[in-house]
Structure 1
């Protein structure tokens, strides 16, 4: 599909998103999904206490794990880390061995000297990470740049992927999204951390504002929480050069030409897409639904922005269980 066709599809999908936002039957489950008891998610203390490390040639990969049985990997977005999945993991621990690793260059993973943090290397890292944990195959749940890595994992190491639950993420025609341009430009000058991340870490209200991480990527104005901001941004501010190297590694379209490989994939895929996301267009969901021959369709969340998986863990859990049962 050429880019002109893609943009026509994007325009049509945006119209569909506007229509769906007016439909109360779609909003009702989203409101229920947000209801979250205080003991259903990991807090900062338990998250830090649960952290483990798996040594690989790529570095020491930080991760948290809950549950047992067949494995499921939860791949976070940028600039987040495994804490993004603190609501989904306990909800799914009865069904899978749920593991949320931190990517190279983000979170608490310790990157080997000279190691690339490009998406293809992240996919290879996950294969080595799985080897270290004795995992042959895993179900993948992914968001944002983690979705790009999931697609690369499924094409570079297809035997390692049992199923994929993809949320708002890069696609071949939106990789990187236009919204990454200022981040890449600032990172090239070594200014991204000091211009955006450090002020957000110091001023949590700013971080949640329409000029911060919250307003751009979260569905609700009270997100992310103070502790989430600390957990996400503290390691990035402490390792500014590493953080900016991650951003610069996203400049190249890591998914260029991947469509033909996805089109022959036998991995069952389900897509959940936040339709209010200003970063990834709704056309991305339509593309993924069409390109994967074993797609199980798209669940559209009318008011969802990029990082809605953190805010709607019940949706993630319900969709994951349904996909895993059908795979």
Structure 2
């Protein structure tokens, strides 16, 4: 079957550190999530052509105190095709919303990376009642959705046979280190098991059909519309942004920090967009300080919503 990845395939591997796999039976289809820990919930949202493994180095640092749920979105590195689901950005946001409601998580700390950060913004715009805190690592925002560098993916999705050819070349690990793959998203090689789980699923016909729909649905109209709601969100926001990101320049973090009423920037250094891969300890520390600050007594003076600019490299 080409609509489902075999559980024995390297494409289906998920790190045990993510927690127990659960299959949510949603109206849109079956959505896997990985659930660990207990306490206030944190929901992790990955982006295009990766999966829940993106958070494998982050979740163990928090699952002792928080309930951590990593969603395995149908973004091209998933294991079961969702042929009847709406995979436009609003449709993906609805999947996140449905997962939060199905698991009865209530208001959550929502953490997004890359195009998953854009999806998180759409969740916030549609259901702010479900978001207690928002953490955006380097991600699409405003008119930068998707970054123009990735226009080739849109062309490939619209060209017969192009995604099939891409799937074949992505089986070669050296190709994955090229800028047109993961080479500029992560500054360091991604370990083999995770890399295989990201790159190999698109070889299955059904998965490839899903990612084609997801890619062709990317459009700045959605992030620009979501941005008009930011001023209404009064809860805390952390922008844990990779300094010097090739695709998501610092100016977007600074713009978000202005538009959200209660936002701060923490720069993640020596990292590409995939800070959970490149600099997990820096990201863990930034999120931990952010969460701990929310536990501080109200009499404590609030922290400045802005950080100092990143040093010039």
- Which residue of the partner structure matches residue 24 of structure 1? none
Cα deviation for residue 94 of structure 1 reads 1.3
What CA distance in whole angstroms lies between the structure 2 residues aligned with 1:124 and 1:44?
23
Using the alignment, how far apart are the partners of 1:216 and 1:191 within structure 2? 25
Q: Look up the SS of the partner of 1:215 in the other structure.
A: coil
Matched residue, 2:57: 87
Q: String of CA shifts for 1:228-264, please: whole Å, max 9, x gaps.
A: 1211122222121112111111145311233331012
CA distance in 2, matches of 1:108, 1:48: 15
**Which of 29, 32, 42 pairs up with 1:72?**
42
Distance of 2:18 and 2:137 partners within structure 1: 25
Instruction: State which of 166, 173, 176 in structure 2 corresponds to 1:207.
Output: 176
Which range is displaced more, 261-270 or 233-242? 233-242
Q: Which runs of 5+ in 1 are unaligned?
A: 1-42
Which range is displaced more, 108-117 or 58-67? 108-117
Give the conservation status (yes or no) of the 8 Å contact 1:57–1:112: no
Cα displacement (A) at 1:149 = 1.0
Given the superposition, is the C-alpha separation of residues 111 and 319 from structure 1 closer, same or farther in structure 2, using an over 3 Å criterion?
A: same
Report whether the alignment pairs 1:256 with 2:256.
no
Q: Please report how far the alpha carbon of residue 112 of structure 1 lies from its aligned counterpart in structure 2 after TM superposition.
A: 4.3
2:196 to 230, 237, 243: 230
Q: TM-score, normalised by structure 1?
A: 0.80
Whole-Å separation in 2 of the counterparts to 1:305 and 1:190: 31
Aligned residue for 1:256, secondary structure, equals: helix
Q: CA separation of 1:302/1:312 partners in 2, compared to 1, >3 Å: closer, same or farther?
A: closer
**1:320 pairs with 271, 274, 287, which one?**
287
Pairs aligned (count): 280
TM-score by length of 2: 0.83
1:136-155 equivalent positions in 2, closer than 5 A: 136-155=106-125
Q: Distance in 2 between matches of 1:195 and 1:281?
A: 31
1:240 aligns with 2:208: yes
Report the Cα distance in structure 2 between the residues aligned to 1:52 and 1:73, rounded to whole angstroms: 14
Flag the 1:272–1:94 CA change in 2: closer, same or farther, 3 A: same
2:127: which partner in 1? Answer: 157
1:172 matched to which residue of 2? 142
Contact in 2 for aligned 1:103/1:122 (Cα 8 Å): yes
Q: Which stretches in structure 2 are left out of the alignment for 5+ residues? A: 1-12, 295-313
CA distance in 2, matches of 1:154, 1:271: 15
Farther-moved stretch of structure 1 (149-158 vs 47-56): 47-56
Match of 1:276 in 2: 244
Q: Is the 8 A contact 2:270 2:279 kept in 1?
A: no
From the superposition, tell whether residues 143 and 228 of structure 1 become closer, same or farther in structure 2 (CA, over 3 Å): same
In the TM superposition, what are the counterparts of 1:116-135 in structure 2 within 5 Å? 116-135=86-105
Structure 2: distance between partners of 1:48 and 1:286: 31
| Residue 310, structure 1, aligned to residue 280, structure 2 | no
Post-superposition offset of 1:191: 4.1
CA distance 1:95–1:192, shift in 2 (3 Å): farther
Residue number in structure 2 paired with 1:265: 233
Q: Does structure 1 retain, via aligned residues, the 8 Å contact 2:72–2:78?
A: yes
Question: How far is the alpha carbon of 1:49 from its aligned partner?
Answer: 8.5
